[in-house]
């Protein structure tokens, strides 16, 4: 696994030498072009994934044909591990939203590392805790925030990336609102010069105003 020197994977370097060597030998690196699928729902998943570079979208389809994006995975984070830990079917999709390098860890190697390395299991636990916190915030937003506040919060959350390559449909899926509503909200934010869009890229012009909008609750 030649790519493990990247700064995004610094937590991996804190692992004991034997566990690190074991994971490197057991895993493989694969490059995914933008728009390609990393995984789809399956009854018996056998792989856990570690994002080295790029960005991954985790989403699920409803029986009515709808689609909801749960999160974006940033470099350095494990994904696809919950079905392995719980020994259940995989129900989510994972899509590369930009060119991505992904480390594929076999199920047996992941579980062995969890059982034999306190450092590894602690790091995975911290990542799971962050994901649960993010999910809690998303649920609270659905209850207490209107569409404009939810869009504002999501844009702020994603602004850790210098460029936000998002369509109106992406914003709708990320915030649980309709595509037309997302277009209206984004248009209002552009009209107020809080954000601007150029060649498919969103830029935040007034972060203070966007934070104020994100903080407002339904009255």
At residue 80, does pLDDT exceed 90? Answer: yes
Same structural domain, 122 and 148: no
| pLDDT tens digits, one per residue of 174-183 | 787 888 999 9
At residue 123, does pLDDT exceed 50? Answer: yes
Q: Where are the beta strands (DSSP E) in 127-211?
A: 164-165, 195-198, 201-204
Beta bridge partners of 95: 37, 57
Q: Which of 160, 161, 156, 169 is nearest to 195 (CA)?
A: 156
Structural domain harbouring 12: 7-134
CB 185 within 8 A of CB 148: yes
Query: What does the alpha-carbon distance between residue 70 and residue 204 come to, in Å, rounded to a whole number?
Result: 22
Report yes or no on 56 lying in a domain. Answer: yes
* pTM exceeds 0.85, yes or no: no
| pLDDT tens digits, one per residue of 81-115 | 999 999 999 999 999 988 999 999 999 999 999 99
| pLDDT tens digits, one per residue of 138-169 | 777 777 888 999 899 888 887 766 556 778 88
Structural tokens at position 47? 């792989």
Q: What is the mean pLDDT of residues 67-88?
A: 88
The CATH number that applies at residue 198 is: 1.10.10.10
Number of structural domains (the chain) is 2
Report yes or no on 2 lying in a domain. Answer: no
At residue 4, does pLDDT exceed 80? Answer: no
Query: What does the alpha-carbon distance between residue 206 and residue 191 come to, in Å, rounded to a whole number?
Result: 12
CB 172 within 8 A of CB 178: yes
Same structural domain, 46 and 119: yes
Point out the domain boundary residue: 111, 134, 157: 134
Report yes or no on 167 lying in a domain. Answer: yes
Mean pLDDT of the chain: 86
């Amino acid at each position: 696994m030649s790519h493990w020197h990247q700064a995004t994977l610094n937590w991996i370097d804190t692992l004991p030498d034997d566990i690190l060597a074991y994971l490197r030998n057991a895993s493989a690196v694969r490059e995914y072009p933008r728009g390609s699928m990393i995984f789809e729902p399956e009854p018996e998943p056998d792989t856990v994934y570690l994002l080295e570079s790029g960005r991954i979208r985790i989403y699920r389809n409803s029986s009515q044909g709808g689609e909801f994006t749960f999160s974006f995975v940033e470099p350095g984070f494990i994904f696809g591990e919950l079905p392995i830990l719980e020994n259940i079917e995989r129900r989510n999709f994972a899509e590369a939203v930009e060119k991505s390098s992904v480390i594929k860890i076999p199920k047996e190697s992941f579980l062995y590392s969890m059982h034999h390395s306190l450092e590894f299991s602690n790091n995975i636990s911290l990542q799971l805790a962050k994901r649960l916190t993010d999910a809690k915030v998303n649920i609270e937003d659905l209850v207490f925030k209107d569409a404009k506040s939810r869009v504002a919060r999501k844009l702020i959350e994603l602004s850790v990336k210098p460029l936000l390559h998002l369509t109106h449909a992406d914003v709708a899926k990320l915030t649980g609102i309709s595509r037309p509503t997302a277009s209206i909200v984004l248009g209002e934010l552009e009209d107020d010069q809080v954000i601007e869009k150029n060649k498919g890229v969103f830029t935040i012009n007034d972060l203070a105003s966007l934070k104020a909008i994100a903080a407002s609750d339904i009255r």
